[in-house]
Amino acid sequence: MFIKSLKIFLLGCLVILVTAWIWFTYQINLRPSQDKANIIFVIEEGRGVNEISEGLFELGLINNKLAFEIYAWLWGKEDEFIAGLYNLNKGMTIRELTRYLTTEATPRERDIIIIEGWNSKQIADYLEKEGIVSGTDFLNYVSKVNPELKSDYQFLEDLDIDESLEGYLFPDTYRIFNKATTSEIVGKMLTNFDKKLTTDLREEIARQGQTIEEIITLASIIEKEVATDEDRKIVSGIFQKRLRDNYPLQSDATVNFITGKGLVQPTREDTQIDNRYNTYKYLGLPPGPICNPGISSIMAVIYPNQTPYYYFLTTPDGQVIYSKTYNEHLRNKQKYLNN
């Protein structure tokens, strides 16, 4: 009698196991529908399999949370789900979903790197090439100072509404969402500028009787002229000496800004171009920044090195040669640039 009861019990268990396995196999291969419409699903950092199954169930991507959780446990996938953004649809099975969610994440965020000395056009080209935003839209947005930005950022309050944001798009590495808009990206740059230009720096600028726009404009020129911190401080001292003496800056960088040529030594014809950015032809600073300078160039303008030099040139290999007199400068040009 006992043997017979045991056999019946074991047979019942077997039937239950087979039935459970059939149900489980059916569930993990079931497609909730034939609808292939794209559904965005996000796995946040730290989410466990129970939270993931709940999210999938709420979106109608799975019909049974338990089956999803058992499948993940049986195949050792519980700790392999990757945080990120996914494009899913209701035509996927639990098998396919699990494989996809453990291998194919699209990060929700990414880094962008804005190089010191890039102008707005170069930033726009970069952002478009990276597939982030339209270059044209970016340039249109930064081509003038939005009144809301003037109220949000004190350093912009002295700019006219028709002036551009050139010079204030602080170069740095930024973490952005994949779907970030132009205004969000520019907002990050301006906020970073606001932090980098500390209260102490602003007070020192005011103490010197200068404006932030004047500082950034000269810093943008220095950024394009020389590459090292020491050279930037020396060149800053030279340029500020010239401004005080009412002598032309004669910056090749401003001429290159007009022509777009990027020459080490602009042609004589280029230096005669009638343009307010031509510091060979017009005294003082140009109307605005020619690029977006880094903090080193900004600091060099606020804290320049005073030297006996009045002239400098940069050789094709990047060496900066200084001169005290114009005749010495001419000899250096002949020696380093005209060979």
Overall average pLDDT of the 261-274 stretch: 89
Contact assessment for residue 228 and residue 235, using Cβ atoms and an 8 Å cutoff: no
Over the stretch 18-38, which tens digit does the pLDDT of each residue have?
777 788 788 888 898 888 888
Residue 135 backbone dihedrals phi, psi, to 5 degrees: -60, -40
Residue 311 backbone dihedrals phi, psi, to 5 degrees: -135, 155
pLDDT band at 225 (very low <50, low <70, confident <90, very high): very high
pTM of the full structure: 0.75
Domains of the chain: 17-101 (3.30.1490.480), 110-196 (3.30.1490), 225-336 (no CATH)
Overall average pLDDT of the 146-167 stretch: 91
Q: How far apart are CA 323 and CA 325, in angstroms?
A: 6
pLDDT band at 1 (very low <50, low <70, confident <90, very high): low
